[in-house]
A and B are shown apart, each in its own frame.
Chain A
């Protein structure tokens, strides 16, 4: 059953240079307990999408349109008060920058307590006890001491654990993780991912994982949505997408991942890159958004935007030549 259904989400920003269509007509859904990865390069609108779900886009200059149905309610129709009751409670978020996402002048304990006191109506004492439990749960040693410490006394990995503790304190139904491991050391990345998966199983939360790291996607996601220039260009179950990517952009992304040890096995190739740059989102784009960088693009692509079409089992892509592309790969 769908927990979250996003329909034709459009998040536009007014800028001096025109309207920036950061997210332009994106639809997707997340089932209960499911892990959906949203991938794409910087500026493709994946973070704006996640911020729109929480309605954390400053309006103005931003404007969110479309519909975001969460557990039967359209979040875009809720009052600020009703929306606050959902943030941090039913939907919570982990950010990319653990070093700057925690308040430097408040204790770790206070920052966990807060969300419990707002949403669960716990008193300070009960919230403190629960905060210590949460720190234990996310694997922070000596939680009784740490709860009284400030963020600058913790390492980056520890801080991200604290962020996870805050996000999961109220047993959310949906956890949005915006590049949760990007700023961390590789060894810590694996620990944090494992922790997120463990906790997801325990709490039963659905996860939207926003990342440009395809290794992470393969590791924990069940379904993948690929975004480019503010639109969804492909969506498929993770194994299907890695086996037969249909959109040339997705193929490019997969080709740009270095394979460890490939030089030893003699299968080393030059690391493929996607030439060109993301189009200017302030100018209207006619035709396929990827046409300007696509090796397969024809006049058809430059004139008519392809719609999302079924290309395989639960697999959709927006490309006039997707079937051909799959064969070519």
Chain B
């Protein structure tokens, strides 16, 4: 298992290299001279030339790229053009809220979507099934910000059960932390829950047709044991896969959700950086998200081997 994980980490290196190359090229793909872009509108030609030299933009592309990668490997993501702060420090500050939002959304999704999908498959064709799948289509078709504003209006403004917006770090206590994340997590999780519930239902429907389910029934097992142990473990591979893929969905959705609920996370930082054309920050964030995604994929592969003993690498 350990050698598999090591091999997989080595295998992700080329992927990360291509991502890094693409991220680095952002500056060059963007219209205009990078130095002019960085210097801003009011810069004099001398300023632009100074920036060009200080950033090494006059040197060949590959040498610049090499230097950039070298600095990243040493933990230096560069300096924000706008705030003059190190990019790594800016990301570090914003990581907590986003990570919290993602983890709460992920747990909420698994806790809600998987049981819903299982019940829908068990009662396939019944009213319960149709209601659950109806909600899934509904959840899928509503944009995050619509759900977000609706939830905030009902549960925060009208009922006053939960705060309207903002973020409290976990260090100030579990409930204050969680209460700020419930509505954003539901808003962000809607599409994700719909997706996972649908896949769970489809995977379960197929598994429930299998001979070993009949064996489990013939052994006198109860419905719960059949569904959640004998069937769900067999259906787990596609479910785990879609949960993993969905994390990409979360990364995109977090940007909008953080804006709606005024959460000072990476999503907000991303928007701010794009609006200010703060290229080093944009590069840092994109690189981080890609890295997280590659890591998630690695985790999915490891989870496969845990749920299905036939999968060995």
Binding site for B on A (CB under 8 A): 54, 56, 84-89, 92-93, 95, 97, 100-106, 114-115, 118-119, 150, 152, 163, 166
Complex Cα distance, B211 from A101, in Å, reads: 5
Interface pair B212/A118, CB less than 8 Å apart: no
Interface positions of B from 207 to 256, Cβ below 8 Å from A: 210-212, 214-222, 225, 229-230, 233-234, 236
A118: chain B residues within 8 A (beta carbon): 219-221
A115: chain B residues within 8 A (beta carbon): 219-220
Nearest-neighbor residue (CB-CB) of B309 within chain A = A150
Complex Cα distance, B212 from A100, in Å, reads: 6
Interface pair A54/B216, CB less than 8 Å apart: no
Interface pair B310/A103, CB less than 8 Å apart: no
* Extra pairs beyond A56-B218, A92-B219, A101-B212 (12, CB < 8 Å): A86-B220, A89-B220, A92-B218, A93-B218, A95-B214, A97-B211, A104-B308, A105-B307, A105-B308, A114-B225, A150-B309, A163-B215
Complex Cα distance, B210 from A97, in Å, reads: 11
Complex Cα distance, B276 from A167, in Å, reads: 71
Interface pair B210/A105, CB less than 8 Å apart: no
Complex Cα distance, B236 from A115, in Å, reads: 23
A93: chain B residues within 8 A (beta carbon): 215, 218
Complex Cα distance, B222 from A87, in Å, reads: 11
Instruction: Given A84-B222, A95-B211, A114-B221, verify A103-B216 contact (CB < 8 Å).
Output: yes
Nearest-neighbor residue (CB-CB) of B222 within chain A = A84
Interface residues on B, range: 20 to 34
Nearest-neighbor residue (CB-CB) of B236 within chain A = A105
Binding site for A on B (CB under 8 A): 210-212, 214-222, 225, 229-230, 233-234, 236, 307-310
CB-based A-B contact count at 8 angstroms: 73
Interface pair B309/A87, CB less than 8 Å apart: no
| Least CB distance, A113 to chain B, in whole angstroms | 11
B225: chain A residues within 8 A (beta carbon): 114
Interface pair B233/A101, CB less than 8 Å apart: no
Complex Cα distance, B230 from A89, in Å, reads: 19
Nearest-neighbor residue (CB-CB) of A60 within chain B = B125
Instruction: Given A150-B310, A152-B310, verify A102-B220 contact (CB < 8 Å).
Output: no
A56: chain B residues within 8 A (beta carbon): 214, 217-218
B236: chain A residues within 8 A (beta carbon): 105
B222: chain A residues within 8 A (beta carbon): 84
6 tightest A-B CB contacts, nearest first: A88-B219, A88-B220, A87-B220, A100-B211, A103-B212, A150-B309
From B214, B216, B219, name the one whose CB has the most chain A CB atoms within 10 angstroms: B219
Cβ contact of B310, chosen from A102, A104, A119, cutoff 8 A:
A104
A114: chain B residues within 8 A (beta carbon): 219, 221, 225
| Least CB distance, B132 to chain A, in whole angstroms | 20
Interface pair A100/B218, CB less than 8 Å apart: no
Interface pair A88/B230, CB less than 8 Å apart: no
Interface pair B234/A103, CB less than 8 Å apart: yes
Complex Cα distance, B215 from A88, in Å, reads: 9
Interface pair A84/B221, CB less than 8 Å apart: yes
| Least CB distance, A273 to chain B, in whole angstroms | 30
A104: chain B residues within 8 A (beta carbon): 212, 234, 308-310
Nearest-neighbor residue (CB-CB) of A152 within chain B = B310
Interface pair B220/A119, CB less than 8 Å apart: yes
From A86, A92, A97, A106, name the one whose CB has the most chain B CB atoms within 10 angstroms: A106
